[in-house]
Amino acid sequence: MGVEPICAELQFAPSTHYDAEFRPLSARAVSDATVGPELRALWEKNYSVYGRRKLWKAAHRSGMDVGRDQVARLMRSQGIEGASRAKKRFTTKSDSAHVRAPDLVNRNFTAARPDALWVTDLERHEALSNPAVVKGHRLWLVAASH
C-alpha cells in the first residue's frame, strides 16, 4: 500500500507527493518557527495586552529583526490578540454560592397605585474629581412596599 492508490484517484503522479514531502522548509517557515515563540514570550512578558503595533516595537527594542506584517501574521496564526477597549471586561467574578437579594417584583416595574413600588439608582463615586470614571457605574435597587 502507500500513496500510489490515493494519487491515482486524485490523478497526479506519486513523485509529486514525494517531492513535496521531502522538500526542505522555506526561509519563511524557518523564520516563523524561531520568531513565533519569541513573539509569544514577549507578548506574555508584557501581560498579554500588546497588539501588533506595540509587539512589533517591543520586538525591535529587544533586538529582533522582524517585519510589521510578519508580527501581525504570526499573532493571527498563534491566536494572540491585544487588549481591546471595545471588549467588555469585568473586574469582579460572581460567586455562585453567594446568596442574592430576592427579586420582590419579578422584574415587573409597573405599579398599580402611587407609592406601591420604589426604584432607586445608587451610584458609586470613587473618583468625584473625574466624572469620566464615574460614568457607567450604577447599581439598581428595587424595593416593594406591601
User: 62-76, 101-115, 117-131: which has the minimum mean pLDDT?
Assistant: 117-131
Q: 139 versus 46: which is more confidently predicted? A: 46
Q: So what's the pLDDT on residue 96?
A: 82
28, pLDDT greater than 80: yes
CA distances from 85 to 50, 51, 52, 64, 89 (A): 12, 12, 15, 28, 9
Q: So what's the pLDDT on residue 141?
A: 47
Averaged pLDDT, 54-68:
95
138, pLDDT greater than 90: no
Q: So what's the pLDDT on residue 18?
A: 87
Q: So what's the pLDDT on residue 100?
A: 80
134, pLDDT greater than 50: no
Q: So what's the pLDDT on residue 90?
A: 60
Question: The pTM is what?
Answer: 0.50
Say how far apart CA 36 and CA 38 lie, in whole Å: 5
Q: Of all helices (H) and strands (E), which one includes residue 138? A: strand 138-144
CB 122 within 8 A of CB 138: yes
Q: So what's the pLDDT on residue 89?
A: 62
Averaged pLDDT, 76-94:
78
Q: So what's the pLDDT on residue 139?
A: 46
CB burial of 50-81 (b: ≥16 within 10 Å; e: otherwise) equals bbbeebbebbeeeeeebeeebbbebbeeeebe
Q: 41 versus 91: which is more confidently predicted? A: 41
> 43-48: long-range contacts at Cβ-Cβ below 8 A with a sequence spacing of 24 or more?
43/75, 43/80, 48/80, 48/83
Torsion of CA 23, 26, 27, 28, to 10 degrees: -160
60, pLDDT greater than 90: yes
